[in-house]
Amino acid sequence: MTRLHLWISFIVCLALIIFGIDRGFEISDEGFYMLLSVPAQENENGLINYDLFFKLFYQLTGCTFSLVEMRLMRLFGCFLGAYALTHFLKNQFDILLNKYQLFLLSILGLFSGYAFLSPTLSYNSLTVVLGCFWLWTIFTDKSSNYPRVLILGFVLALLVYVKVTVALILFLCSIGIWVSKKQFSMDSFGLVFIPFLILEFIFWAILGEFASARLVIGIPLNSARPGYGIIQMIKSPLVGFLFSGVTLMMGWMIAKLKLKSFQIQVGFLLFISAIFFWIIRFTHITEEWNHVLMLTTSAFLGYLLGNSKSEITFSLEKMTLFLLPYFLHLGSNFYWLRIAVHYWVFWMLLVLVYIGRNSNVMQYLVTLLSVILVFNGIWWHPYGQDNSLWSTKIELNADGEIIKVDKELFDAIIQIKDFAKERELRLIHTAYGVPGLIWLSGLQIPHSPSVWNRIQLESLSYNLPEEMVFCQNDLLPDEWNFTHSKTLGSIQGHPTIYLLWK
């Protein structure tokens, strides 16, 4: 029988998510994701190209998606990811938990990641869900047969549109796993590309644009942006690997070093603990404390490895579970230890695999931690927002949908809407990093769903705009002069935001 505490934690987390589904809005990342869902929004030279699916869906059905629907899609993705992880675990490990327990533990782990960053469907959330399906597919028995190869190819193809760097690294991992399992063949190698080629042809035939063309231009342009060079892209997961590897080794040392003297044991534990807390403090470079969860989990994994009686403590499947968080992060400019809570589910399940039958305490910890993380990340400290979700909100009509937002945001949107109506605008330029103001106003941004800095702005091919929403995150080009301005205020921790026009 599935344990009651798992169901209670699941219901509480689900309720916290559902009751906050139409409250709050973050104007940077969440605004960017929502603009990607708008069929009329341009996305030239994009590295993130899953907007093509929204545009295709609109061409075929005439339907678009609201904020609540986008948030529900992300929630549904958690269920899909948990389903895939359940089958992967049952197929690959002799684990005593039944499939319902595994499903609930998996979805609680995914809920823990849902609680960080914006709750809207995003490339980070899609990457995690597709990573779950990649695990299930690549480690399924006879994974190199043709139907399974096509499914794997479809997962990798979707990743190209979501995060091309992850698609590349998981493709290489797939080849390596096939070779190690003696399942590689040239037929499988060629077949895995078919789903991507079919999708590209469909987008080209119906929309007249496709991801490959965008990427050819977009990769060189975006690599010039601060934080998006090849070295920076590799550095972020490597730094995470370094510190989590150190804490893993510390846990392993505690398990392996059997000292006779009690005093020496206590001294050694105090010394290791001091180093551990120093690492936590040293790596705390943002306001969140999510990194504590990852560092603690890696230390516990090291302890379990040190105590493992198996001669082979890391099978290929276990090694992949451990490394997958680094692979899924590759290509992000986010600090790995800050965002890695998205991937905690993989390490949490790896801990359960090592613990085996003695998993009761771990299960209770997961149920408790998931509720705390969801409550904190959704309601108490929603990402990028100044106030908790239970604070006073004002109903805002965003393209026919009612969203409850803070007063400062509401006032800014009303001013932008009035300005756009007066000048009969459908498009308005923006800089920097506040696309949510444009989406909430029912407008779009020319060329790109968001402009994050001056280098990106200067790379876009357009003349000096007549109107602009400007945030002082960076300077405008020297030749960009406006004759009028109106202050919209400082919203969600951003510098002062202005309406500029000639």
Query: Which pLDDT belongs to residue 350?
Result: 94
> How far is it, in rounded angstroms, from Cα 34 to Cα 65?
9
pLDDT at 311: 46
Amino acid at 480: W
- The pLDDT value recorded for residue 354 is 87
Within 10 Å of residue 462's Cβ, how many Cβ atoms?
A: 9
**What does the alpha-carbon distance between residue 473 and residue 496 come to, in Å, rounded to a whole number?**
9
Does the pLDDT at position 36 exceed 50? yes
- Rounded distance between C-alpha atoms, residue 270 and residue 259, angstroms: 14
pLDDT tens-digit series, residues 172-205: 999 999 998 888 888 888 999 999 999 999 999 9
d(CA 493, CA 491): 6
Mean pLDDT of 282-311: 85
DSSP lists the bridge partners of residue 431 as: 470
pLDDT over threshold 80, residue 119: yes
**What pLDDT sits at residue 102?**
93
Neighbours of 187 (CB within 10 A): 11
Report the range of poorest mean pLDDT among 2-16, 144-158, 357-371, 488-502: 357-371
Averaged pLDDT, 235-250: 88
Whether the full predicted model's pTM is greater than 0.85, yes or no, is: yes
pLDDT score recorded for residue 1? 47
Number of other residues whose CB lies within 10 A of the CB of residue 180: 10
If you average pLDDT over every residue of the chain, what do you get?
89
Return the pLDDT at 310: 59
Closest CA to 494 of 439, 437, 456: 437
Structure tokens given for 361: 């305490």
